[in-house]
Structure formats: C-alpha cells, structure tokens
Structure 1
Amino acid sequence: MLVYGDHDRSADARAVLARMVDALAAVHAMPAGIDRHGALVSLFIEASELAQGLADAAFEAAGEDDDTPANRAAMGLLMAFARSIASSWDSGFRHLVPVQAEALLALAAQPLPAAVRMRQAEGHAFYAVYPEAYLESARRLSASLPRPVTVIGLRSIGIGLAAMAAVGLGAGQPVTLRPVGHPFRRALCVSARLGAALTADPAACSVVVDEGPGLSGSSFGAVADWLEERGVPRGRIAFLPSHDGDLGPEASPAHRRRWSEVNRSVVPFDTLFRSADGRVPPLERWFEDRVGPPVAPLQSLSGGDWRSLLYGNPAAWPPVHAQQERCKYLLRTESGTWLLKFAGLGRAGEAKLERARTLHRAGFVAEPVALRHGFLAERWLDDARPLCIATPELITHLADYLLLRARSFPVDGAVGADLPALLAMARVNLTEALGEPATLRLARWTPDILGRLGSRIRRIVTDNRLHLWEWLRCSDGRLLKADALDHAYAHDRIGCQDVAWDVAGGIVEFGLSAAEATQLCHAVGNRMPLDLQLVDFCIDSYIGFQIGYWSFAAAFDDRAVSALSRYRAAWRRACDEGQSVRVRTHNQ
C-alpha cells in the first residue's frame, strides 16, 4: 500500500544561516522559561535539517559518506546547540549557555551549495520525539559503556539527535551516515577515509543514534552489520532509539537477535516530561499562566483513548490508526478542561496556532490558548458529541468551512502530491485491496486530462480529515470541527491540495447522495472556482488513499476493518455506476 510520504524543501544554505543568526539573537534576548527553551529547540531542529541537507548533497556528489570540512562544521554547530539546550534543560529552563556566533561562522565559511534539500524530521514533527530524550537516554547509557565512545547519527533525524547524545555521553563530535537501499535491507556507502576513522581504535564503543526502529530496523542493523564486518565486537555497539519496543515484522532474524543482545537506552516521553524530579516543569504546568494550576493528574487521550470521553457505548467508537495519532492529554484546572495536543517541534507549530486562531474567530473550532514547546493547548468541550449522520445543516456548514480555509490558507509551491502521484497511489492501493480489474475505472484519467486538471489547481492547506466523527455538536447547537489544523502536513502522501480534495472528502465521508453532492458543489462553486471534473478525480484518489490508510490501521484496530470494508464498498459502487461518482450538475 502507498500511504506514507516524506516532506522536504529546497533552501539556500546561506540564507538559512543568515536567518538563524537573527533568530538566535532573538532567542538569547528572550526571558528565561519554556518559551525560550522551545524557541532554542526549534532553531536546533532547523540547524539539524540544514546539516542533513548538506551531508546528503555531499553524499550524492561523491556516492558515499565522507568526513568533509562542511560536515564537520555543520556537526560543530549542532554540538553548540546541543550544549545550549542541555544547559537550559538542566536548569529547569532558567539558564542557558549561548550558542556562539563562531559556530555559525565556521559553517558559513565553507563552500556551500546554493540549494540544499532539507527533509522534515518526522519524529520531531509527528511523533513527539524530543531532543532532550536523547540527552537523558545517553546519560543513562553512559555508565555502562567502555571508553572511548564514537557517536554515529543516522540521517535524517539522527544527525541532530547524535549531537544531543554526544553531549549526554561526554563524547566528541559525532559523525553522520545515510543508510540506503531497500527500506527493509539498508546498507552503507562509506569512504575509505571515514571508514578508517570509525574503526581506528579497536577499544572504542560505537553508539548508533536514530529514530525508530520501524518495520525492519534495517537502518540500525546496517550500521551494526558494517561495524561487525570490520571487527567491532557486538559488546562494543550500543543503540539509542526512540522507543523501547522490538523490531517490526520485516526485521531479519539476525537483526532481531542482535537487537535483543546489544546495549540500548530509551527515555519515554512520559518519563521525560511527566516525572516529578523537580528539574523541569512537568507538562501539566507548561500552561499554568494561561489556564491555572492543574486540579487533577493529566489523562492520556492518545491512541484512541479520547473515544471513551465522547462515546457512552464502546460499540459506537469510530476506528483509529493509533500509530498515526498525535500524543494528547486532558488537563483539568479551575478554569475548565483543556486539551494538550502535540502539534510538532519547530516552525510548523506556530503556523498551526495561527490557523487555529483564524478558524476559532470564524466559529469553526474550539478556542486555542497557546503553543509551548511542541504542545498546543485548546479548550476541551465537555458537552460536545460527535455527529452520527450528515444533516442538511452540516452540508451547508461544511461549504462555509471549506470556503474559509480556501480564502485564509493559500499555499505556494509544490507542497502536496501532484495528480499523477495521486493516481499512482490509488492504482497501487486498489490493486492490492481489490485486484487489478478494480482499477479499470482509473483508465479514464489520461495524461492529457491530468495535465489540464493540474493547471487549474489552487493549493490550500486542506483539512484532509473530514470523517463524520470529527464534527462535534455542542449543547448550544454549534457545530465545530475537531482535528482541523495539520492533516495537510501529516506523514502521508497527500499534503496540501485544491479545495476539490476536501469537497470530495466530504462527499465520501458524509455518504452524500447525488443531490446532496450537487448541493455541496454548488455551495462552494458559486463562491469560488471549483472544477467538478477535478472533484470527480479527487473522489477516486480519496477512496484509494483511504483504502491504503485503513489497511495499515486494520493491523492494530478491529474497527478499522469495518472502515476498510466501507471504502471498498464505496469503490465497488462507483465502478458499478460507471460514471462520475455522485457529482451531478445541470452541465453534465
């Protein structure tokens, strides 16, 4: 199935460094506290993504990882940030060691490419992977390791996490490697010079740092394979992953055995930010100045646990994809109940807060309060309940909602899958789910038609999550949209699309009749450009995406099996109709 996708951007390396100089001065001038700490971590993540882009550019040019002056300067900058973060963290956000300008100037002095591809660090954006966790897990590991220690950070996200680990271990500057090849059979391409440096000291211990492991753990495994093939004993290899689980189902038996034998260390999120060691304010006190002190312990709503608060009967629970849900908690204070949801570390969180404010002013979402170090606080509506059926009022409300998004959140550039990529995704997913004959309907989308449709696209920050249970009815009659901020920037292939994508999503998710679909299309199209043929294409692609999405979710949630069946049935009905799915206008 094709569901997941990477997000990257092209940037001028020197322009990024120039922005960082100004932003760093602003961080140093901020008053002590979690806001300053969060801003520092955001800059560190941008520096990590820049270092990743530079290292990958050098790798592509040489065909191998090497110990270059630019890589060393970039890692030196990350080490400076890591030391500053550690000082802020250890003092409970009260003090920090400034990042010296020399670290930035050393990188700026290198011959840098005009454009680098900076890949979004998925763990920081989606999965609440905090750099401070690697500082603490490295400290826990430190006492059990023989010395000296060589830290190896795997790109993408591991390049910055390695700097945090090196500070925690009291080690020297790390090196970075990019495992390549099939996702389940990664391998390394290392220059002779770098390889000799990594294995020069037979007594050294190698600590491999990355997010994961995922389905196979092959990135960790590739590095350990390479080290063992060059005589490094298994007892001198250690891993710093992001979770303490086992390797996924695609892991090789050899990698699985090694994973169970090597030294590993993990500090989970709850230990990091919900402990009572007194050093760092726990998560429930991050928003105390805005909502007051907690009157009860935080309640986890992650992994679908939010359903127990919104539905009286578990039989009515909607499906969830627990592995894709953001980390979230319920906070109760004297001023009310609040949802604390992970919105992402780095610059993306600020944009989500602004979207939340815009949508709240228009009456479409709950009240946002503040963003603190990756978490967004918004009011929890105790009296709200999810909708079970689509009503005429909801169709009108959806049209108004989509129009506001289209007018308020336009985007520039290639920030979402193009139409050929959406079509390819739908074809793969439908073939795997229903067999190749089920894809005959997609043959109508010829390259010429896709080219014409593609020229008409106006990309916006689409909602991408219009499932019926995401709409809430309050006791005063208001209709509000939940989870409305970030699915256009999720860890999938869709991204930002034309408003037609959300119109298609509404038609499918609300189960609209032909007349109701026409009503929705007219309600939107009478007030802004809406290409009905593009809506029809998006319906096909949308169903194909949802079949892939819920196929993955079905491995973890029985209710997802029923959801998958509904989307399969929707596709069969579309094929039986033999024409545009449910969209009828007087022009057709």
Structure 2
Amino acid sequence: MLVYGNRDRLENPRVVVARIAAAHRAAAAKPDGLIRHGLLVSLFIEAAELAQGLADAEFAALEEDDCTPCRDAAMAVVMELARAVARSWRGEPQPNACTLTAGLETLSVQPLPETVRIRRSEGYAFYGLYPEAHLEAAARLPPDLPAPVVVIGLRSIGTGLAAMAAVALDAAPPVTLRPIGHPFHRAVRVSARLRTALLADAGASYVIVDEGPGLSGSSFGAVADWLEEAGVPPRRIVFLPSHGGAPGPHSSDRHRRRWAEAVRPVIGFDELAHAAHGPVPPLERWFEDTLGPAVAPLRDLSGGAWRTVSADLAADVAADCPPVHAQQERRKFLLRTASGPWLLKFAGLGRLSEAKLDRARVLHQAGFTTEPIALRHGFLAERWLDGAQPPSTMPLKRLADYLLFRAQRFPAERDTGASLPDLLAMARVNIGEALGAAATVSLDRWTPDILRELSAGGRRVITDNRLHIWEWLRTTDGRLLKTDSLDHADAHDLIGCQDIAWDVAGGIVEFSLAAAEADRLCDAVGASKRLVAFHLPCYLAFQIGYWSFASSDAGAGSMRRFYEKAWKRQADRVARSSLPVGTS
C-alpha cells in the first residue's frame, strides 16, 4: 500500500542564515523560561535542517559523505545552538551571542549553493520527539565508555539529535552520514578522508544517533556494520534511538542480535515532559500564565483515548465509537483549569508550527472551529468542548461554506502535495493490492493528456484532508464545528496540499452524497467537476491504504470495507457514465 510520504522544501542557505541570526536576537530579548526555551529549540532545529541540506547537497555531488569546511561550519552553528538549548534546559546562564554570530559569519562566507533541499524531520513535526530527550539519554550512557567518544548522526533528523548528544557527552562535533539504498538494506558511502578521521583512534567508542528504529532498523545497522567491518568491536558501539522498541519485522538477524545486546538508553516523552527541567515546568503548567493552574490531573487523550471522554466511558471504548489509527495520532491531553477544559495538542516543533496557530485563529474567527489560545514549545492549546458530539447528519451548506472558506483563504504553493500522476499511481497500487488488478480498470480513463489538462487548471490550497463525520462536533448550543483542521495537508502521508476538489471528493465519500447533492456541493465551492471525478477514486484508494495500516484498531477493518464498497460502486458508475461524481 502507498500511504506515507515525505515533504522536502527548497531554501536559500543565505536566507536561512540571516533568519537564524534575526530570530536569535529576538529570542535573546526574552526572559528565561518556557517561551524563550521554545524559541531556542526552533532555532536549533532550523540550523540542523540547514546543516542536513548542505551535507546532502555535497553528498549528491560527491556520491559519498566527506568532511569539508562547509559541513564543519554548518555543524559549528548547530553545536552552538545545541549548547544554548542545553543551558536553557538546565537553567544555566546564557553567554552572549558572539560565538553564534561568528559561526554564522563563517558559514555565510562558504561557497554555499543557491538552494538546498531540506527534509522535514518527522519526529519533530508529528511524533512528539524533543531534542532534549537525546540530551538526557546521552547523559545516561555508561560513564566508562572508552574515550574518545565519536558521535555519528544519521541524516536527516540525526543531524541535530547527534549534536545534542555531543553536548551532553562533551564530545567533538558529530559527523553525519546519509544511509542509502533499499529501505530495508541501507548502506553508507564514506570518503577515504572521512574514514581516516572516524577511525583515527583505535580505542574510540562510537555513539550512533537517530530516531527510530523503524521497520528494519537498517540505517542504524548500516553504520554499525561499517564500523565492525573496519575493526571496531561491538562493545564499543552504542545507540541513541528515539524509542525503546526493537527494529521491525524487516530487520536482519544480525541487526536484531546486535540491537538486543547493545547499550541504547532512551528517554520517553512522558518522562521528559511531565517533569520540571530548569525554567521549563511540567507540561500541565506550560499554559498556566494564560489558562490558570490545573484543577485536575492532566489526562492523556493520545492514541484514541479521546474517545473515552466523548463517550463518557471509564475504560472500554464503545463499539460504535470512531476508529483511530493510533500510530498516526498526535499526542494530546485534556487540561482542566478554573477557566474551563482545554485540549493540548502536539502541533510540531520548529518555525512552521507558528503558521498553524495563525490558521487556527483565522478558522475560529470565521466560526468554523473552537478557540485557540496559544502555542508553547510544540503544543497548541484550544478550548475543549464538553458535551459536544458528532452530528447525525451533515448540512450540505455548512460543508460547502467551510470548504469554500478554505479555498479562498489558504492558498498553497504548487509543489506542496502529490502530483496527479502520483495520486493515480497510488490508486493503482492500493486498489490492486486490496481488490485485484482487474479492479483498477476504471482508472484507465485518466490518460496523461487528461492529467496534464487537469493539473494546469488546478489551484492548490491547504486542504483539510480529514472530513470524516466524527471530525465534526455539534456543541451543546447547536453550533457545528470542525475539529483537527490545521495540518493534515502537511501530515506524514503522500497527499499534501491539493486543489479544493480533493476535499470536495472527501466530503462526497464521507457523507455518501448522491449525485445531485455532489453536483450542488461542487457548484457551491466552485470546484471543477472533472477534477472531483478524478479525485474520488484516488481518495478512496488512499483511505483503503490508510485503514489497512491501522489494523490494530477494532474499527479499522470496517472502515476499509466501507471504502472498498464505495470503490466498487464508483467503478460500476464509471462503466455507465462519463463523469462519476456521487457515491451513493
């Protein structure tokens, strides 16, 4: 199944350097505390992403990792900001900005490319991975590790995480490597010069840093394989992952055995966020200045636990509750204060999360969503709607007004989502796997010429991408509000931002609109009916794949069957009509 996808963005390195310098001056003007700490972490992430982009650009040119003045200059900036984050986290005084300023100047005089491709760090964006966790985890490595300690970060996110580890260990700046090849059989390519530098001391210990491991753990394994083949004993290789689990089912026997025997301390989110660290209070106090102190323990609503609140259940989830894909849910908590109940939801670390708060405010002011309050170190606080329930029916006008508003207010750049040919390829793969190759015949009508014509007429917006009926709530005073409406166009999947026709197709499917209702929705939103007709099968195929990966939830199977039945109805209609729109 094709479901997941990564987002890259092109940046001018000199613009990023200038932005870091200006943002650091703004952060330095803030008093010690959570807000300043969050700003420093955002700066650190941006610097690490730039270092990743520059290193990958050199890798593409050289076809191997090397040590160069540009990489050294970029990592020096990352290390200085990592030290600033560590001092803030520990409540230590910050020195003046001279060292960072000098580092940025040194980086800016390098022969930088016009643009670099920066990969989004999924852990920071979606999964509640905080760089401070690797700072704390590195401090728990055995104190008798043979010196010197060489830190190796795996790009992308390992660039910054390795710097945090190096600060904790008082080690030299880390080296970063880009494992390449098949996702389950990664390898590294290291220049002779870098090999000599990494293996300069025959008695050194090696700390390999990244998020994961994932389905195979082959990125961690590739570096450890390389080190062992170079003569490093396994006992001098340790790991700093982002979770305590083993590599997934596609890992090799060699990698599983090594992982089971290796030192690999982990600091989980709960241990990190629910305790005080220097001026950074526990999570339940992050919004205390705005919302007041908690009057009840913070309640974890992650992984579908929010369903027990909505259904007013103590433990078991009712059979008719909405299904969830627990692995894809953001962390979320219910905070109760004297000012009322509040949802604290992880919106992501880094500069781009600020746009989500702005979007939330625009949607609330237009009357479509609940009230957002503030963004603090990756968490967005918004009002929790006690007593609200999903509606039994969806008024077509409310849906149309919402989609039209998004289409008008949230334009997106052209290359911020999957192309139409990529969506069609996804549909062929997912439907072929779910229902057999014969079920994909209805997709043959979408020829390359038609796709080029549709692409030329499309206009990408920040689509909602999550229009299921349980994503809407009717409040106790009768209002119909949209939940979870900020960032699914920037989720860890392949869809991304699309023409509003994608959301129209989603609305048609989720509310089983008849052909006449679908036509009225298209007209009200101003969506191209031809583009909606294309997106309908793609939407169904994506949902089939999505719920296939959510099989651990009791409702996932029924959701997949719902979309498979809708696909069959859609395919039957294609055989009878030149323009399928409705689904019922």
Query: TM-score when scaled to structure 2?
Result: 0.96
Residue type of the alignment partner of 2:563: Y
8 Å CA contact 1:139, 1:169 repeated in 2: yes
Write out aligned runs for 1:437-456 (5 A).
Answer: 437-456=438-457
Whole-Å separation in 2 of the counterparts to 1:448 and 1:144: 65
Q: What displacement does 1:543 show?
A: 0.6
Whole-Å separation in 1 of the counterparts to 2:149 and 2:578: 62
RMSD between aligned alpha carbons? 1.5
Deviations 1:450-474 (A, max 9, x none): 0110001111100000011101011
8 Å CA contact 1:513, 1:582 repeated in 2: no
Whole-Å separation in 2 of the counterparts to 1:570 and 1:78: 50
Match of 2:213 in 1: 213
Q: 2:530 aligns with which of 530, 533, 536?
A: 533
Match of 2:518 in 1: 517
Match of 1:562 in 2: 558
Match of 1:417 in 2: 418
Write out aligned runs for 1:313-462 (5 A).
Answer: 314-387=318-391, 389-391=392-394, 393=395, 395-462=396-463
Q: What displacement does 1:65 show?
A: 0.3
Query: Bigger shift: 118-127 or 137-146?
Result: 137-146
Q: Which runs of 5+ in 2 are unaligned?
A: none
Query: Bigger shift: 305-314 or 326-335?
Result: 305-314
Q: What displacement does 1:583 show?
A: 2.3
Q: What displacement does 1:83 show?
A: 0.4
**Cα pair distance change 1:580/1:564, threshold 3 Å:** farther
Q: Percent identity of the aligned residues?
A: 62
Report the number of matched residues.
576
Query: Bigger shift: 346-355 or 99-108?
Result: 99-108
Q: Which runs of 5+ in 1 are unaligned?
A: none
Q: What displacement does 1:144 show?
A: 4.8
**Cα pair distance change 1:96/1:496, threshold 3 Å:** farther
8 Å CA contact 2:12, 2:115 repeated in 1: yes
Residue type of the alignment partner of 2:303: G
**Cα pair distance change 1:582/1:477, threshold 3 Å:** farther
Query: Bigger shift: 211-220 or 405-414?
Result: 405-414
Whole-Å separation in 2 of the counterparts to 1:69 and 1:304: 48
Whole-Å separation in 1 of the counterparts to 2:518 and 2:496: 24
1:548 is the counterpart of 2:509: no
Residue type of the alignment partner of 1:332: R
Query: Bigger shift: 486-495 or 101-110?
Result: 101-110
Match of 1:583 in 2: 581
For 2:153, what is the secondary structure of its paired residue?
Answer: strand
8 Å CA contact 1:344, 1:374 repeated in 2: yes
Query: Bigger shift: 34-43 or 298-307?
Result: 34-43
Deviations 1:302-343 (A, max 9, x none): 111111111256111211111110011111111111000000
**Cα pair distance change 1:535/1:277, threshold 3 Å:** closer
Write out aligned runs for 1:99-118 (5 A).
Answer: 100-118=100-118
Residue type of the alignment partner of 1:559: G
Match of 1:574 in 2: 570
8 Å CA contact 1:426, 1:545 repeated in 2: yes
Q: What displacement does 1:279 show?
A: 5.9
Q: What displacement does 1:582 show?
A: 5.4
Whole-Å separation in 2 of the counterparts to 1:488 and 1:446: 26
Query: TM-score when scaled to structure 1?
Result: 0.96
Q: What displacement does 1:222 show?
A: 0.4
Match of 1:476 in 2: 477
For 1:2, what is the secondary structure of its paired residue?
Answer: coil
Whole-Å separation in 1 of the counterparts to 2:303 and 2:370: 21
For 1:264, what is the secondary structure of its paired residue?
Answer: coil
Whole-Å separation in 2 of the counterparts to 1:317 and 1:205: 51
Whole-Å separation in 2 of the counterparts to 1:428 and 1:132: 40
**Cα pair distance change 1:203/1:163, threshold 3 Å:** same
Q: Which runs of 4+ in 1 moved over 6 A?
A: none
